[in-house]
Homo-oligomer: A and B are copies of this chain.
């Protein structure tokens, strides 16, 4: 099985109340690919400029990640993002976004990648997300993520992308905005009524909800004593979710619920380090151990 992950590989500048780092590896596809590679073979589709540092490329050169789709655009500049977190780490300001090579990226699949068994299209132009989905017709699960920028600026195309996908992952506040209702449950219902097949609503430290025509699943957040940097947690969640699903023989509701917990587990590790640094050292057995802790933390009984 091979999971195609398309999105940004970028250079970040991040400021938390406790620390500031510039020139660190970032981008939605970076975090999602590192997370997914714990579970399955990943094909990374992204563009960088000639300025992309060698040590960042080496960080991505891992067993389980195929970099044949990491295009270096001649004369191009790698995308950059700067963000600053507030005291409670739950809100942040974007300081700047430099689109660089992603301003005009036209994704092209390396030979053979059209047989990819799954697709995660990280937040990006919804027209491009639709094109990506069409490139991998045999993928069992196609998930798209989105952000406020596209809800505000490209709502119609975004709805087309969402309807073409099997799952959309979206932040809580963005789900409320997209559906135009204040309740998460009603937002989920309204998106389904509009033709969405399934929605994962990411609740940050409070967990996640999965809503489809067949199932409704809510998972609390894994309780962490220390959050170093929330950057990339949503993409790590998506990568863990899609990576786990890509590796199972049959995708059913039981496996989708497990995938939500695996995604939450990987995201909980991600925020323990700056940028994707914790994902770079994370081992599968640590994930399995925390998954079992997650179960122990949340289990309760019915009846006597």
Contacts and interface: CB of A to CB of B under 8 A. Distances in A.
Nearest to A207: B220
A223 B209 CA distance: 9
> Which has the most chain B C-beta neighbours within 10 Å: A182, A254, A300?
A300
Contacts of A182: 87-89
Interface in A277-304: 291-292, 295, 297-302
A158 to B, nearest CB: 22
B207 A257 contact: no
Interface stretch (A108-116, A139-147, A183-191): A183-191
Interface stretch (A24-32, A50-58, A74-82, A224-232): A224-232
Interface string A206-242: 1101000000111111011111000000000000000
Interface string A126-143: 000000000000000000
A261 interface: yes
Contact of A291 (B225, B226, B258, B302): B302
B219 A189 contact: no
B295 A217 contact: no
A60 interface: no
Interface in A244-289: 254, 257-258, 260-261
A227 to B, nearest CB: 6
A206 B207 contact: yes
A205 B182 CA distance: 12
B89 A217 contact: no
Contacts of A301: 254, 257-258
> Which has the most chain B C-beta neighbours within 10 Å: A207, A209, A291, A298?
A298
A1 interface: no
A151 interface: no
A183 B186 CA distance: 29
A203 interface: yes
A95 B84 CA distance: 34
Given A206-B206, A258-B301, A183 B226 contact: yes
A296 to B, nearest CB: 9
A302 B207 CA distance: 18
B206 A297 contact: no
A224 B258 contact: no
A216 B223 contact: yes
B302 A226 contact: no
B225 A185 contact: yes
Given A87-B182, A225-B185, A302 B292 contact: yes
Given A206-B203, A257-B300, A183 B220 contact: no
19 contacts: A88-B176, A89-B182, A183-B225, A183-B227, A185-B225, A203-B206, A206-B220, A207-B220, A209-B220, A209-B223, A216-B223, A218-B220, A218-B297, A219-B220, A219-B298, A220-B220, A254-B300, A258-B301, A292-B302
